[in-house]
Amino acid sequence: MSGQLNNKVALVTGGSRGIGRAIVDRFRQEGARVITCGRGKRPDDLDTEIEWQRADVSSINDVQALAAFIAQTSDRLDILVNNAGIQIEKTLLESSDEDWDQLMGVNAKGVFLCCRELIPTMIRGGGGSIINIGSISGNHADPSMALYNGSKAFVHGLTRSIAVDHGADGIRCNAVCPGWIMTEMADAAFEQASNPEAAREDARSRHPVRRFGKPEDIANAVLWLASEQSSFASGQTFIIDGGLIAASPLQPGLF
């Protein structure tokens, strides 16, 4: 197998489904050795050539075990994609301490831990590309998603800091910020509406491209950032949202 990532070693967190699975599949198609992880058992439909490790990225013990596995089976890590994430649909006042620990543990601490524990391996191998999955919600607040919005803003800020602090070590770090991508998380958000189908149609109509995103749309952007084609891109947040936030919030026909 040959492709843009031939002979590269990549770790994608949260690769069992949705955006993570699309990234895992695309990387493998492009020739990378791909390792992925999740909190549950290996998915039955995961390609047999994909390496699976059971890990909770909010746990330092699990992340250190993941780093040890990579060090034992390879002398380097070329690509790290911090994709694992969860969503809680609550306002600030509705959010509990347990909600904070759970969501920030995965979405914020998980990215921090994976970067801290794996950047040394990347440096020893000559550098590499880190791609964090952020969100347009890190720049524009979705209603009743207080902790999720805050966690993605953290991811964007950490992305810039890693790029600045470790660029001389050969590390590039960028974030891909999806808009409405049709995954289980997006479905859960729509189900919070009083009329989920009407909410979906309203959201779809606000996209200039007149469709929601697919996990493959994000995987394509992540592939570019993982490849040598993006070798001068670092410290950036790339929005992939079908033009959603470029448009005026005023609906056509009002004026």
Q: Are 158 and 120 in contact (CB under 8 A)?
A: no
Distance of CA 203 to the CA centre of its chain: 22
Task: List the structure tokens of 194.
Answer: 């009083």
CA gap 225, 238 in Å, rounded: 10
- Residues tagged active-site: 148
Distance of CA 186 to the CA centre of its chain: 14
Say which residue the tokens 């410290």 belong to: 235
DSSP 124-172: HTT-EEEEEE--GGGTSPPTT-HHHHHHHHHHHHHHHHHHHHHGGGTEE
Q: Are 177 and 132 in contact (CB under 8 A)?
A: no
Alpha helix stretches (DSSP H) within 74-109: 97-104
CA gap 150, 129 in Å, rounded: 24
Backbone angles phi, psi at 178, to 5 degrees: -70, 155
CA gap 85, 152 in Å, rounded: 10
The CA-to-CA distance between both ends of the chain, in Å, stands at: 56
